Amino acid sequence: MEMFEYVAVLTSIIIGLGIAHLLQGLARLIQRPGHERVYWVHLTWVFFTFFYAVFWWWFEFRLGTVDVWTFQLYLFLVLYAVVIYLECALLFPSSLANYDGFKEYFYSRRAWFFGLWALIMVLDVGDTWFKGAEHFSSLLPNYLVQMVTAVALFAVAARTRNERFHAALVVFLVVGELAWALQFFETVD
C-alpha cells in the first residue's frame, strides 16, 4: 500500500462518518415526520455540507501526486477531515429537547458552525498548496479572492441572526458549489 492510499483510508473513514451522520439525521426526519420542527435554511446547509464532504473526498485524489509525505501533511489532512466531520455533526444534534426545532438550534450554534466553516476555508488553502505549487498558482487570483470572501461572509454569519442573510448565503453557496462542480468535475486530473 502506498502512503497516499494509507492516508486516504483514514480520511475516508472520517468523512464517511460525517456523511453517515447527515444521512442518519435526514432519515430521522423522514421516520418521524412532524416530530421535530424543520427549518429550510438548516436543511439547505445539510445539503451543502453533504456535497462539500463528497467533493472534498473526490478532490483529495489529487494528493496521489505528492512525492514526499510528511507527518505534518498527514496530521493536516486528518485535521481537515475532522473539521468537516464536526460540521456534519453540528447539523444534527443527538437531541433537540432544549430547542424549539432546528431553527432555534441552528441559530444557537451559528458561532461554532460558521467558525468551523471559516477554518475549513483556511484549511482548503493549505490543502490546495499541498497539491502542488503549479496547481495552486493555476487557481490564482480568483481562488484566494473566493477564500477571503468566504471567510468574511462566515464571520458575518457567525455574528448575525438575520434570517435573510443566512438564507441568501446558503442558497448562493449551494448554487456556486454545484455550478463549480459541474464545470470542473468531469475527471480528477
- pLDDT digits 0-9 by tens, 68-78: 999 999 999 99
Reply yes or no on whether the pLDDT at 49 is more than 80: yes
Q: Report the share of the chain in percent with pLDDT over 90.
A: 81
Give the whole-angstrom CA distance, residue 75 versus residue 98.
36
pLDDT, average across residues 56-65: 88
Q: Which residue has the higher pLDDT, 187 or 177?
A: 177
- Longest Cα–Cα distance in the chain: 52
pLDDT, average across residues 3-25: 96
Give the whole-angstrom CA distance, residue 81 versus residue 4.
15
Res 65: pLDDT: 86
**pLDDT range class, residue 185, cuts 50, 70, 90:** low
**pLDDT range class, residue 46, cuts 50, 70, 90:** very high
**Cell representation of residue 23:** 444521512
Q: For residue 113, give Cα distances in angstroms to 62, 69, 106, 119, 123.
A: 27, 31, 8, 10, 15
Res 189: pLDDT: 54
Tens digit of each residue's pLDDT (9 = 90 or more) over 95-108: 999 999 999 999 99
Give the whole-angstrom CA distance, residue 42 versus residue 46.
6
Reply yes or no on whether the pLDDT at 50 is more than 70: yes
**pLDDT range class, residue 174, cuts 50, 70, 90:** very high
User: Quick one: DSSP state of residue 100?
Assistant: S
Reply yes or no on whether the pLDDT at 1 is more than 80: no
Q: Report the share of the chain in percent with pLDDT over 70.
A: 96
Task: Output phi, psi for 138, to 5 deg.
Answer: -65, -20
Give the whole-angstrom CA distance, residue 84 versus residue 166.
20
132: left (phi over 0), alpha (psi -120 to 50) or beta: left
Q: Which residue has the higher pLDDT, 116 or 2?
A: 116
pTM above 0.85, yes or no: yes
165 within 8 A of 157, measured Cβ to Cβ: yes
**Cell representation of residue 66:** 505528492
Length of the chain, please? 189
**Cell representation of residue 34:** 412532524
Res 187: pLDDT: 59
